[in-house]
Amino acid sequence: MRIPIRALLTLTVLALAGCGGTGATAGNTTPSNAAAAPATSSSAVLTIKDPWVKAAKAGAMTAAFGVLVNDTAAEVTVVSAESPASPMELHEMTMKGGKMVMQPKQGGFVIKAKSTHELNPGGDHLMLMKPDAEIAAGDEVSFTLELADGSTVAFTAIAKPFAGAGESYDPGMSMPSAAQ
């Protein structure tokens, strides 16, 4: 039986489209094209678009990224993050003494009403301080964000190899403590 090339290509594109999303929905641990991760509270709704995590060896600091989307009429603040893969902190990159340094993000990530907040290499990010096991490219890592109102947002991110934006997540790098 011969399958026309056009039909084969259409089937391939449809199959790949079903596998290619990177968004996540709360309660769904499989990434999907529906880039939504609703909060567990009706007071705030936050979604995460295109979540991903930098692949890393066990014990090596790494980070998770994506776009936090607030479609509500009120400001939403992410105050902490958790993952079974590693202890976590909310971090930012900032200039100090003419050098780019990483530090804990005081006050959390504030997402204005009807706005977005990017988590990206070289900027704000979710820091995995010391993963227990290797996070290999293609792995799925689950996260939970806690919002200022006490609600939570769960999502899953896919690990990707990434050379970086010149930032370093090495344990020996200069990183002021949260108390500074």
The percent of residues above 90 in pLDDT, for the chain, comes to 62
User: Is the pLDDT score of 79 beyond 50?
Assistant: yes
34 versus 59: the higher-pLDDT residue is: 59
User: Is the pLDDT score of 147 beyond 50?
Assistant: yes
pLDDT recorded at residue 165 = 56
Q: What is the mean pLDDT of the chain?
A: 77
User: Is the pLDDT score of 23 beyond 90?
Assistant: no
168 versus 48: the higher-pLDDT residue is: 48
pLDDT recorded at residue 26 = 36
Q: Compute the average pLDDT of residues 133-138.
A: 97
Q: Which CATH architecture has domain 21-160?
A: Sandwich (2.60)
Q: Compute the average pLDDT of residues 80-105.
A: 95
pLDDT recorded at residue 146 = 97
User: Is the pLDDT score of 67 beyond 60?
Assistant: yes
Q: Compute the average pLDDT of residues 40-63.
A: 84
pLDDT band at 164 (very low <50, low <70, confident <90, very high): low
User: Is the pLDDT score of 175 beyond 90?
Assistant: no
The percent of residues above 70 in pLDDT, for the chain, comes to 66
**β-bridge pairing 152-160 and 46-54:** parallel
For the chain, how far is it from start to end, CA to CA, in angstroms? Answer: 71
pLDDT recorded at residue 163 = 75
pLDDT band at 19 (very low <50, low <70, confident <90, very high): very low
User: pLDDT per residue over 89-101, tens digit each?
Assistant: 999 999 999 998 9
Rounded CA-CA distance 122/165 in Å is: 6
